Amino acid sequence: MRATISLGRIAGVRVGVHWSVLFILALIALGLAEGRLPRTYPGESRAVYWSIGLVTAMVFLALLLAHELAHAVVARRNEVGVDDITLWLLGGVARLRTEARTPAAELRIAGAGPLVSLALGAFFALVAWLLGQTGAPGPVVEALAWLAAINIVLAVFNAIPAAPLDGGRLLRAFLWWRTGDRLRAAAGAAAAGRGFGWFLMLLGVLLFARGDIVGGLWLVMIAWFLVAAATVEGRQAQLRAVLAGVPVRDAMTPDPVAVPARLTVADFLADPRYRYRHTAFPVTGEGRVPLGLLTLDGARKVPEARRQAMTAEQAMTPLPDVTVVDAGDPLADLLPELVPGAENRALVTEGGLLAGIVSASDVSRAVSWLMAARKSGGRTGREGG
């Protein structure tokens, strides 16, 4: 899930919003302004209901962000890199750069979000109760009570032991601790996620058949997301098993064609070395020190009138926003980063200097080669026995 709108950085983490968030904000505001608030406290103007509904929806978005930031902060404290946070239709996603090193770290990272949501639910419940005792406007108290309830529901739902929910990571931490096998634990959590997703799918169909069209469709949509995401996690666990023990240097393209930082965008686009071989190139300074990544699409977006004056360093994606790994790092840890796309490449360094570049296709080739080698070895072993 990629962000459509960037909100900058919070606590050093890139935060973005997917366009689908607009749908959920509108749905929350509509449900409160045209349903819950006037039904519970009639007599106010529609402007009052809609104002409270819109503010409540925005606060809910901020609380989702707090949930994901809790994961990110705890992850960093446990030496797990965090790429970004994206808020979207069904909540939020904190994209971790690497895996937790121990089951205990996995437990802390996974549990941080539900604990924060639970604490926020208790806080808003207390505030709603206090304001209710002081005679505050009823719609305001009701909106706070709704925020309290939705945060508690969010905490409880996320604690269900099924990937990709936080509870799935808690289950993975437990299975990892119990078996000592992280990959096997990830596969178990993914299987639980698919099972839970199909259960929700069946429940949604039953609701739809009984006449609850909105509730049924909503459950089916959540179930579809859970099944799809759990399937992806299961495949990643299988790929990690295949890539176990393989360093990045075995899959990277060594000594890639690099773009000098001071080369102009016009010269970059005109040079055949950059036009026909690849779609993204490392930008380097003196001595092959990596500075960032420049894509052909990014260079072409520079207006023609500015291409002679703008350098590759000015047009590139800067190094802090690019995945950088050491040649000896485990290739499996790169899997969450390398999705298809020109900009989704990892720069590989050795001794601080550029040594190679890795794309999703490089990893696919490595996986294909390893699986073919294993099948060939398996056949040889059986024939010899």
**Is domain 248-368 classified as CATH 3.30.750.24?**
no
Active site positions, annotated: 68
Among the residue ranges 14-23, 86-95, 336-345, the one predicted with the least confidence is 336-345
**For residues 190-227, b (16+ Cβ closer than 10 Å) or e, as one string?**
bbbbbebbeebbeebeebbeeeeeeebebbbebbebbb
**Which two structure tokens, joined as six digits, stand for 202?**
């069946």
Give the pLDDT score at 276: 67
Judged on CB neighbours under 10 Å (0-12, 13-18, 19+), 147 is buried
- Could you tell me the pTM of the whole model? 0.74
Give the pLDDT score at 362: 85
Given a contact cutoff of 8 angstroms between Cβ atoms, the answer to whether 85 and 58 are in contact is: no
Rounded to the nearest angstrom, the gap between the alpha carbon of residue 324 and the centroid of all alpha carbons in its chain is 18
Q: Which residue has the tokens 């990014």?
A: 298
pLDDT digits (tens, 9 = 90+) for 303-314: 999 999 999 999
- Position 18 pLDDT exceeds 90: no
**Which two structure tokens, joined as six digits, stand for 66?**
């707090």
pLDDT digits (tens, 9 = 90+) for 133-158: 998 899 999 999 999 999 999 999 99
Give the pLDDT score at 268: 94
pLDDT digits (tens, 9 = 90+) for 247-266: 999 999 999 999 999 999 99
Give the pLDDT score at 320: 85
pLDDT digits (tens, 9 = 90+) for 184-243: 898 899 999 999 999 999 999 999 888 888 778 888 988 998 898 888 888 877 777 788
- Position 339 pLDDT exceeds 70: no
Give the pLDDT score at 385: 35
pLDDT digits (tens, 9 = 90+) for 344-384: 789 999 999 999 999 888 888 888 888 787 777 654 443 33
Distance CA 265, CA 136 (A): 61
Give the pLDDT score at 343: 67
CB neighbours of residue 345 within 10 Å: 27
State residue 245 phi and psi, 5-degree precision. Answer: 85, 0
Q: Mutual orientation of helices 182-209 and 213-243 as an angle, nearest 10°?
A: 160
Query: Mean pLDDT over all residues of the chain?
Result: 87
Mean pLDDT of all residues in 77-88: 82
Give the pLDDT score at 384: 38
Start-to-end C-alpha separation, the chain:
48
For residue 171, the SS3 value is: helix
Residue spans of the domains in the chain: they are: 5-243, 248-368
From its phi and psi, is residue 23 left (phi > 0), alpha (psi between -120 and 50) or beta? alpha
Give the pLDDT score at 173: 94
